[in-house]
Amino acid sequence: MGSSKTNGSVRTEKMVTLKTDLFKDRLNRVYDRMRHSSQSRHLSQKEFFDYLWELKEAALLEGKSSLELPQNWLDKLEEEEALTRGN
């Protein structure tokens, strides 16, 4: 999953390239489920989701066909997808 490499004191996360349209679709599905979910969200989860949303919007505005994200961010998004699927 989200493995990291340590180079001295610098830690680098594994980066993953994702098509912007695919990322947009995933975020839209999670957002839709979050809106209809009775489960409350922690502020940090909402802030993380909002940050991903802003990255997606910036990529769309800039016309980027793909974007690069740390693997652990996608893992966290998958966790959110799993939580919202349960409701």
- Asked if residue 29 lies in contact with residue 80, where contact means CB atoms within 8 angstroms, the answer is no
2-23 pLDDT tens trace: 444 555 555 567 999 999 999 9
The whole-number pLDDT of residue 22 equals: 94
Closest alpha carbon to 48 in 12, 79, 4, 5 = 79
In the structure encoding, which two tokens stand for residue 23, read together? 């990322």
User: What's the distance, Cα to Cα, between the start and end of the chain in Å?
Assistant: 25
28-44 pLDDT tens trace: 988 888 777 766 566 56
Regarding predicted confidence, which is higher, 65 or 81? 65
pTM value is: 0.71
